[in-house]
Structures are given as structure tokens and as C-alpha cells.
A and B are shown apart, each in its own frame.
Chain A
Amino acid sequence: QVQLVQSGAEVKKPGASVKVSCKPSGYSFGDNYIHWVRQAPGQGLEWMGRINPNTGDTNYAQKFQGRVTMTRDTSIRTIYMELSRLRSDDTALYYCARECGSSGWCHFDYWGQGTLVTVS
């Protein structure tokens, strides 16, 4: 079955960087884009960006341009999201999610369990 397993919780100081991993399984790694979505305390879901696991091509939300980097390691079938220059308002649950296809015009059908990043 399809699963996306994320790395564990992180506590970081303001100004530091955090790198969260997402390891999909149960399907062909390169067939589906992977997106990152976050939820700050008391807030809704916020799209951060996506990566094509095949090519490494990315799209980032304008809000995070210059601070976020999404990469992949095809040898271990893992996706990474790194956020730099952390601020207290980056404290949030970070989710990876699988796009149902690779066209963009598709919903997110599977989600990781979430990674809590605390900036303090």
C-alpha cells in the first residue's frame, strides 16, 4: 500500500535551518510529484512547493522563495524539504503529500504523518 513516512520532530533556534525527509513507498518513486504543505498552530493548510522526483524540477510558493529548497535522493527514494532562516512563525506541522499524477491538475491522494518543527 502507498505510504509516505516522514522524519521525526525537530526543535531549532531562530535563524537556523531544518531539513525534513519524506520516504514514499508502495508505488514507483518517479511517477508522482510530491508536495509540501504546512499547518501552523491554529491555522489552516498552506502549500509550500512541490518536486518532481524524476527530474528534481521544483515549484515553490512565492512566500517561501529563497528560503525553501526541495530535493530528492533517488538512490534511497527519499524527498527532502529544507527551510532556512527559521523564524518563530515557522513553527508548524509539515506534511508531504503525493499528487495523484504528474500533470498538476490533480488532488493529493496520500499524505505523510506530519513532522512538527518548533522554532524557539
Chain B
Amino acid sequence: EVVMTQSPATLSVSPGERATLSCRASQSLGTNLAWYQHHPGQAPRLLIYGASTRATGIPARFSGSGSGTEFTLTISSLQSEDLAMYYCQQYNNWPPWTFGQGTKVEI
């Protein structure tokens, strides 16, 4: 099973600042990695797939990078609506499809 490790667990950022979230995989994934945003009580929302491709309707301030075992999600200028949990997920070696434990972005 591929273990996904996200850091930090909590990221405190001021509105307008840059947020950088990390995700590390225990095995190489190529670019078979996705990022999801999750507000409490709502459905998770796909942000990034293929490590760096923004999903439909996702603002340009969200960007993804990386390959292999190291990945990064960057929010270039944090907006209040970006306060949420963020999960990375691998879909390279399955089953199971595995998620990181999440990074909480807060003010």
C-alpha cells in the first residue's frame, strides 16, 4: 500500500499570502496524484489532477507541481474561502487508492 504523508498538519496563513502544502509518497507515482479541497459538511472538491492540471473551474491561484514521490500544492494569494482541509491522493498503485492525512489551512 502506498502511504501518503502530508505536511504540515496545520498551516496558518494570512489572507493574500502564499500557502505551500507538501505531499510525499512512499513509492514513486509518476504524476498520478490529485489534490482535493474539503470544507466541513461539504463534498470534497477536485482541485488538481495529474499532479499539475487544474480541474475545471478552479482559480489560477491554485497550482500543483512535482512528480515521483514529492508533490506540492501552492495557493498563490490566499482568499478567505480557501480556508479548508486539503488532501492529496494517489491513483498510481491500487488498490487501495490512498489519501494523505490532510493539511488544515487556517488564519
Q: Provided the pairs A105-B92, A108-B89 are in contact, do residues A95 and B43 lie with their beta carbons within 8 angstroms?
A: yes
A46 in the interface, Cβ–Cβ < 8 Å? Answer: yes
Interface size class of B (residues with CB under 8 A): 20 to 34
Write out the residue numbers on chain B whose beta carbons fall within 8 Å of the beta carbon of A105. Answer: 32, 91-92
Are A46 and B99 closer than 8 Å at their CB atoms? yes
Q: Provided the pairs A45-B99, A106-B91 are in contact, do residues A95 and B46 lie with their beta carbons within 8 angstroms?
A: no
Write out the residue numbers on chain B whose beta carbons fall within 8 Å of the beta carbon of A44. Answer: 85, 87, 99-102
A59 in the interface, Cβ–Cβ < 8 Å? Answer: yes
CA distance A50 to B97 in the complex (A): 10
Nearest A residue to B48 by beta-carbon distance?
A: A107
Q: Which of B27-43 contact A (CB under 8 A)?
A: 32, 34, 36, 38, 41-43
Are B99 and A47 closer than 8 Å at their CB atoms? yes
Measuring CB to CB, which residues of chain B are less than 8 angstroms from any residue of chain A?
32, 34, 36, 38, 41-46, 49-50, 55, 85, 87, 89, 91-92, 94-102
14 contacting pairs across A/B (C-beta < 8 A): A37-B44, A37-B99, A44-B102, A45-B36, A45-B44, A45-B87, A45-B102, A47-B96, A49-B95, A59-B94, A95-B43, A95-B44, A104-B94, A110-B46
